[in-house]
Amino acid sequence: MSVNTFGHLLRVTTWGESHGPAIGCVVDGCPPLIHLSEADIQPFLDARRPGQSRHTTQRREPDQVRILSGVFEGQDGIQRTTGTPISLMIENVDQRAKDYQRAAYRPGHADYAYDAKYGIRDYRGGGRSSARETAMRVAAGAIARKISSEVQLTTYLSELGGDAIDRGAFDADAINQNDFFCPDPKAAERWAVMLDEARREGDSLGAVVECVASGVPAGWGAPIYAKLDAAIAQAMMGINAAKGVEIGDGFAAARLKGSENADAMRPAKDLGGDTPDFASNHAGGTAGGIATGQPIVVRVAFKPTSSIRKPVATVDSDGTETEISTTGRHDPCVGIRAVPVVEAMLALVLADQKLLHRAQTG
């Protein structure tokens, strides 16, 4: 079982609550001799950090990561991984100022479920169930990228509040030029209006994150229970607020005919290699759970933020009827800040698969 550990050969174990002294993770199984310093990790944490636009929570978390083990600086002054566990830690700076009290069960949150399971819960800011834990996924993902450096990842919001991007207007450069990781600048404009309105109403919106991994060699992955699709689905559905995942055409494939869904192949003369040329990629880069060499395409549905100002009926832990209105500084759309998390999880899956593939096939 691996409640707080992710991965088979590249294993990430995270710990920490939103309002404890710190959060952290241990990355075990990393190959040795990879150049690694805090500077390789911090930019990804910065991309996830809240408070960077009016569309995300206004909390201020500097999220400065420290590497506590697993690297060593050689005589050339370059710090490298040693093959031993890499411990990362981020101190929780502001948590002491907060004044949390045990409150009613917040609908959509894990409050009631934690109590039902453990008979106890750290109710300060969500405790372990807070999205704060995802900072460590992003940090670990930065290491994973260095392990599977042949892979390029592109991640963006493809839908917000039910409003999808125009795929004809897809502009990869636009992704980092708006507050939404949106590849369609016009959609980004609409989304800003929608989100402002939701915030005014004390409400929140859902979103769909899409992640494309190019450069994944044909052969990574495995059949049956360890299918690449299964590993990805597990990774994504383990992210806070995720409620659906699809590979390639996903649910839309269930509405196609076999002749429409077929990814025809032809000899890849230009490529000079073994990989055939695929006329389409309905499958999203996998067949039988194994990478085909085509881009891996993943989509993840995020529900709207559960913490909303609009009051909702609920009960407290004594079973008394009450109503809750969450007034703190919350993301009006958790899907936005999920973008770097989805990318990190795919990076972790692929690095693990790279190690697993070479273990069996040499």
Taking the complex as a whole, the smallest distance from the CB of residue 53 to a second copy amounts, in Å, to 19
Rounded distance between C-alpha atoms, residue 307 and residue 205, angstroms: 11
What b/e string do you get for 180-205 counting C-beta neighbours within 10 Å, with b at 16 or more?
bbbbbeebbebbbebbeebbeeebbb
Q: Is 328 in the site for a second copy (CB under 8 A)?
A: no
* Cβ atoms within 10 Å of 142's Cβ, excluding its own: 22
Please give the residues from 81 up to 100 whose contact with a second copy meets the rule CB under 8 A: 82-87
Please give the residues from 33 up to 52 whose contact with a second copy meets the rule CB under 8 A: 33
Rounded distance between C-alpha atoms, residue 201 and residue 309, angstroms: 8
CA 172 from centroid of its chain's CA atoms: 19
Q: Hey, which residues does 321 pair with through a beta bridge?
A: 315
Q: Is 120 in the site for a second copy (CB under 8 A)?
A: yes
Taking the complex as a whole, the smallest distance from the CB of residue 284 to a second copy amounts, in Å, to 7
Q: Between helices 38-48 and 334-361, what is the axis angle to 10°?
A: 140
Residue closest to 143 by CA, chosen among 50, 6, 21? 6
User: Scanning the structure block, which residue is given the tokens 């693990």?
Assistant: 352
Q: Is 295 in the site for a second copy (CB under 8 A)?
A: no
- Candidates 151, 235, 296, 343; binder of a second copy (CB under 8 A) is 235
Q: Is 65 in the site for a second copy (CB under 8 A)?
A: no
Q: Is 340 in the site for a second copy (CB under 8 A)?
A: no
- Are the C-beta atoms of residues 157 and 209 closer than 8 Å to each other? yes
Taking the complex as a whole, the smallest distance from the CB of residue 95 to a second copy amounts, in Å, to 12
Taking the complex as a whole, the smallest distance from the CB of residue 152 to a second copy amounts, in Å, to 20
- Candidates 43, 51, 223, 328; binder of a second copy (CB under 8 A) is 223
38-46, 49-57, 170-178, 302-310 -> range binding a second copy (CB under 8 A) = 302-310
- Are the C-beta atoms of residues 257 and 146 closer than 8 Å to each other? no
Q: Report the residue number, 44 or 220, with the smaller CB distance to a second copy.
A: 220
Taking the complex as a whole, the smallest distance from the CB of residue 186 to a second copy amounts, in Å, to 19
Q: Is 141 in the site for a second copy (CB under 8 A)?
A: no
Taking the complex as a whole, the smallest distance from the CB of residue 162 to a second copy amounts, in Å, to 4
Taking the complex as a whole, the smallest distance from the CB of residue 288 to a second copy amounts, in Å, to 2
Taking the complex as a whole, the smallest distance from the CB of residue 253 to a second copy amounts, in Å, to 4
Q: Report the residue number, 24 or 50, with the smaller CB distance to a second copy.
A: 24
Angle (CA) 265-270-276 rounded to 5° is 25
- Candidates 46, 59, 100, 112; binder of a second copy (CB under 8 A) is 112
- Are the C-beta atoms of residues 58 and 50 closer than 8 Å to each other? yes
Paired sense of beta strands 65-67 and 22-28, if any: unpaired
Which residues are CB-neighbours of 257 under 8 A, at least 6 positions away? Answer: none
Q: Is 132 in the site for a second copy (CB under 8 A)?
A: no
Please give the residues from 150 up to 209 whose contact with a second copy meets the rule CB under 8 A: 159, 161-162, 198, 203-208
Q: What Rg, from alpha-carbon coordinates, does the chain have?
A: 21
- Candidates 40, 133, 210, 343; binder of a second copy (CB under 8 A) is 133
Structural tokens at position 151: 């892979």
Rounded distance between C-alpha atoms, residue 116 and residue 105, angstroms: 11
| 251 CB-contact burial (10 Å; exposed 0-12 / middle 13-18 / buried 19+) | exposed
- Candidates 304, 336, 341, 350; binder of a second copy (CB under 8 A) is 304
Q: Report the residue number, 72 or 170, with the smaller CB distance to a second copy.
A: 72
- Candidates 247, 296, 344, 351; binder of a second copy (CB under 8 A) is 247
Structural tokens at position 313: 């009926």
Q: Is 125 in the site for a second copy (CB under 8 A)?
A: no
Taking the complex as a whole, the smallest distance from the CB of residue 57 to a second copy amounts, in Å, to 14
Q: Is 250 in the site for a second copy (CB under 8 A)?
A: yes
Q: Is 61 in the site for a second copy (CB under 8 A)?
A: no
